[in-house]
Amino acid sequence: MGKNIALFGTSADPPTIGHKKILEELSKIYAFTISYVSNNPKKNHKEDISIRSHLLKTLIEDLDNPKILFNQSVSSQWAVESIKKCKRIYKLNNLDFVIGSDLIKDIIYWKNFDKIVDEVSFLVISREGYPVESNTLKMLETYKVKFKISTIKIPNISSSNLRSNFNYSNLPTSLIDIVKKNNLYESIKLVE
């Protein structure tokens, strides 16, 4: 594979128009973007990982972009494991790990953070309400974290926001029928 590869793991509970936009924008920057669904050990997921991965796979198939690959086999609740699996499967040396600015302060607490820093560079996607502050930049410098802050603009929607104010317009079109037919997120008040 080419040298310019992104790894985008997400809990995608559910995938939103924000996830779609991120994938579309990453495909303009990277030779390939590899995406998967994981269980975040700090989150309570509404739907099972098998459902969420089916939704993300459907979204990626609908994008029909050969530069965006879905590979659930790299999934782990630990970023370090997903990174190692991805590098082994695709025989990569260089990899950018994509995260939202809401997570950047916490990476030093991730399992095997020191190994992650050795394995990847981070691409930080700015999320509204989560600016990358100067003390965070200093912390990244102190820990010798390789990173870039992306200029990608994404809609101000998150999976948790979508679940609390459910509106089908915040779901990618390709997922609406699946969510409706399978009564996913059904305990949430649905607004159309």
Contact predicate 116/107, CB 8 Å: yes
- pLDDT tens digit sequence for 135-189: 999 999 999 999 999 999 998 888 988 888 888 889 999 999 999 999 898 654 4
Contacts of 18 (CB under 8 A, 6+ apart): 154, 155, 156, 157, 158
Q: How would residue 9 be classed by pLDDT, with cut points 50, 70 and 90? A: very high
Domains of the chain: 5-181 (3.40.50.620)
| pLDDT the model gives residue 187 | 53
| pLDDT the model gives residue 166 | 81
- pLDDT tens digit sequence for 86-133: 999 999 999 999 999 999 999 999 999 999 999 999 999 999 889 999
